[in-house]
Structures are given as structure tokens and as C-alpha cells.
Amino acid sequence: MKAKLETEVSKYMSYVLRHAPEAAGLTLDAEGWVSFDTLEKAVTSKYEVCRADIIEIVENNPKKRFTLVDNRIRANQGHSIDVDLALTPIEPPAALFHGTSRTNWPSIEHQGLQKMQRHHVHLSADVETAKIVAMRRKGEHIILRVDAARMFSEGHSFFVSDNGVWLAESVPVQYLSLD
Ligand code: HQG
């Protein structure tokens, strides 16, 4: 399978599993799962790929965006639709990071980090990963350091998705600093 097609199909899978299952005629269960056979039908009716290609996309995905188990598949994080990923709260590392555009800073400085269209604010365990997240956006970037240890000790919950993305409801501004 060509890399371009792989990326295109992967993006489509993210789109339907996180944001718009109805666009592909899918119905996810409460925790975001759908039968793999159903997803396969939706994908193969749109793209020139086979079941093995889709399995390869799941396995090779650089961010491990999907979990395929017991003939069911779901996106690991990043949903905008109402799913309960049934994540368990967990103690975070001392510091977490968030990469974003500099133009967002005046608003973030005012309101803290908000989850916007997603279920959670997404945080990275290291600066390198936060930079990659930031680079998705044009213009100048900033890396914010989250004092996760203090935030946790003051009662805020953290979660980690199956693919290692740290998640929080929001990050109030007192826990943020420019890295
Ligand atoms: C910003 C990708 C103004 C926030 C990545 C971000 C990540 C504010 C944008 C994952 C704000 C939301 C998530 C405030 C937050 N004022 N701007 N108060 N609070 N923002 O895409 O973190 O490819 O929802 O800084 O790798 O960029 O989807 O979040 O710029 O892991 O698997 O609002 O998406 O992964 O954007 O990225 P997003 P994100 P996938």
C-alpha cells in the first residue's frame, strides 16, 4: 500500500471513529467501539484497500491511534463525539508539556488550557512530542510546561490513553509556564 493511501485511510478512520461515525453509517458503542467487520466494510467501500491493509494501518500507525481487539476497533483518544473511554485516573509525571501556536497564548494566559472540541486537553510526556503536536499548526510555536505534580496534589485528575497521550479536563493558568 502506498504511504499516501495509508495516510488518507488512517485519517478517514480517525474521522469516523472520533468525530462522525454516522458519515460512514457506523454506530459506536458507549465506549467508542465498533465491530471491525463493520469498519472494514465502510473503509473498503470508499478506498481500494483490503482487510489486511486496514490491519496494517492499525499496527503501523505511528501514534497508535487505534486499538483492534476481539474483532472490535476504537480510536484511543481525540474524540469529539460523546464516548466514555473508561480511563482510570492515574498519577502523572512531575511535568507535562503542551505545544501550541503563539497566537493562542493571550487567550490561554487568560483562561488556561481548555479542551476545545475534544474530550480532554491533550498533554505530552516530553518536549519533543509537544513540539510535534505544535508543528501541526502554522506560524510560531510555544511549548507550555504543566506543573502536573502540583496540579495533581491539588485534586485535579489525569488520565493516560492507550497510546500514551496524557489527558486532563483543563489546565488552570496557575499550573502553566512558558518552557
Ligand atoms: C488550543 C493530535 C486558545 C490548544 C496531536 C490547541 C495531539 C486554546 C487547540 C492531539 C486554549 C486545540 C491534540 C485557550 C487550548 N485559548 N487556544 N484557552 N486552550 N487551546 O487539535 O493539543 O493526530 O484539539 O493549544 O498529536 O493541538 O489527532 O488539540 O492548539 O495529540 O492523533 O486549542 O491531536 O493527535 O486543538 O492536539 P486540538 P492539540 P491526532
Q: How far apart are CA 93 and CA 82, in angstroms?
A: 28
Judge if 107 and 60 occupy the same domain.
no
The best mutation among 113, 120, 144 to test binding of ligand 1, ranked by most ligand atoms within 8 Å of the C-beta, falls on 113
Q: Across residues 99-111, what is the average pLDDT?
A: 97
Co-location of 106 and 156 in the same domain: yes
Q: List all residues whose CB is within 6 A of at least one atom of ligand 1.
A: 63, 65, 78, 100, 104, 107-108, 111, 113-114, 116-118, 122, 133, 165
Tens of pLDDT along 56-98? 999 999 889 999 999 999 999 999 999 999 888 999 999 999 9
Q: Residue 172: give its domain's CATH number.
A: 3.20.170.30
pTM for the predicted model, two decimal places: 0.88
Domain count, the chain: 2
Same domain, 45 and 112: no
20-40 pLDDT, tens per residue?
Answer: 999 999 999 999 999 999 999
Residue 112 pLDDT > 90: yes
Q: Is the pLDDT of residue 1 over 90?
A: no
**Final residue in a domain of this structure, among 41, 75, 109:** 75
CA-to-CA separations, 168 to 73, 115, 143, 171, 174, in angstroms, rounded = 24, 8, 17, 7, 15
| ipTM of the modeled complex | 0.96
Alpha helices in 26-159 (DSSP H): 36-44, 51-60, 105-111, 127-134, 148-153
Full domain range(s) for residue 170: 95-178
